[in-house]
Chains A and B, each alone.
Chain A
Amino acid sequence: AQSVAQPEDQVNVAEGNPLTVKCTYSVSGNPYLFWYVQYPNRGLQFLLKYITGDNLVKGSYGFEAEFNKSQTSFHLKKPSALVSDSALYFCAVRDTSGGSYIPTFGRGTSLIVHP
């Protein structure tokens, strides 16, 4: 079985400060991990993914995420937040070990960046 948790409903950060949006996962085998961003009244945009290789993954708009196998986490980070980063962020996981090819999405974290 695969599952993903985003423990924070909302994250508030001041513009220019670093931001972190948390994600933890549970899979039977190895995970494929994804981050998506959703702006109001829009579909989800792909930000980045971890399949294999380097634990630090760089994605769109200056975002990055670090795969930590021991902590089963895949937190999304950005060194300097922008007001325009304010949106809803979804983490997703897919178990590569005979599980469903359909990813499971977290419930989403609302990121609010204050000017």
Chain B
Amino acid sequence: GAVVSQHPSRVICKSGTSVKIECRSLDFQATTMFWYRQFPKQSLMLMATSNEGSKATYEQGVEKDKFLINHASLTLSTLTVTSAHPEDSSFYICSAGDSSGNTIYFGEGSWLTVV
């Protein structure tokens, strides 16, 4: 299957700072990538859909100015958590559709801890 790489796998940052998470499709071009948030032992919460070359589409209740998404190329999307607070601590997962668009593959996820 297609490979999606996510980096960093774990990051700790101080309150008030910003942190960037990268999501790369390694062996295919992804015009669309998805960003999810997952709380412990819970399902995935779709945060936004990242479209190459255009603005991301955010789900209801997700702050656009806090969770900045950039999809500058067909293989890279980034999520920047701005002015991070402890309540932003979570597991963030990206995914991308393969060339057929029929299957979505996930990155390994990034644990964010805000202290």
Interchain residue pairs A-B with the least CB separation, the first 7: A44-B106, A43-B106, A107-B43, A43-B108, A43-B109, A43-B107, A108-B43
Which of B34, B42, B104 is close to A107, meaning CB atoms less than 8 Å apart?
Answer: B42
Instruction: List 17 extra interface pairs beyond A44-B106, A107-B43, CB under 8 A.
Output: A32-B102, A34-B103, A41-B91, A41-B109, A41-B111, A43-B106, A43-B108, A43-B109, A44-B44, A46-B104, A49-B102, A49-B103, A51-B102, A90-B44, A92-B104, A103-B104, A108-B42
In contact, B49 and A43 (Cβ under 8 angstroms):
no
Q: How far is the CA of A36 from the CA of B1 in the complex (A)?
A: 13
Instruction: Give B3-16 as 1s and 0s: 1 = Cβ < 8 Å from A's Cβ atoms.
Output: 01010000000000
Q: How many residues of A contact B (CB 8 A)?
A: 22
Q: How far is the CA of A88 from the CA of B1 in the complex (A)?
A: 20
In the assembled complex, the CB of A86 is this many whole angstroms from the nearest CB of chain B, namely 14
Interface residues of B (CB under 8 A from A): 1, 4, 6, 32, 34, 41-44, 46, 49, 91, 93, 95, 97, 101-109, 111
Of the A-B pairs whose beta carbons lie under 8 Å apart in the complex, a sample of 7, sorted by A's number, is A34-B103, A41-B109, A46-B105, A51-B102, A103-B104, A105-B43, A108-B43
Interface residues of A (CB under 8 A from B): 32, 34, 36, 41-46, 49, 51, 88, 90, 92, 101-103, 105-108, 110
In the assembled complex, the CB of B5 is this many whole angstroms from the nearest CB of chain A, namely 10
In contact, A43 and B43 (Cβ under 8 angstroms):
no
In contact, B109 and A42 (Cβ under 8 angstroms):
yes
Chain A residues near B44 (CB-CB < 8 A)? 44, 90, 105
In contact, A101 and B43 (Cβ under 8 angstroms):
no
- The closest CB in chain A to the CB of B9 belongs to A41
Given A41-B111, A43-B107, A102 and B46 contact (CB-CB distance below 8 Å): yes
- The closest CB in chain A to the CB of B43 belongs to A107
Chain A residues near B97 (CB-CB < 8 A)? 101
Chain B residues near A103 (CB-CB < 8 A)? 104
Q: How far is the CA of A110 from the CA of B101 in the complex (A)?
A: 28
- The closest CB in chain A to the CB of B94 belongs to A43
Chain B residues near A101 (CB-CB < 8 A)? 32, 97, 101
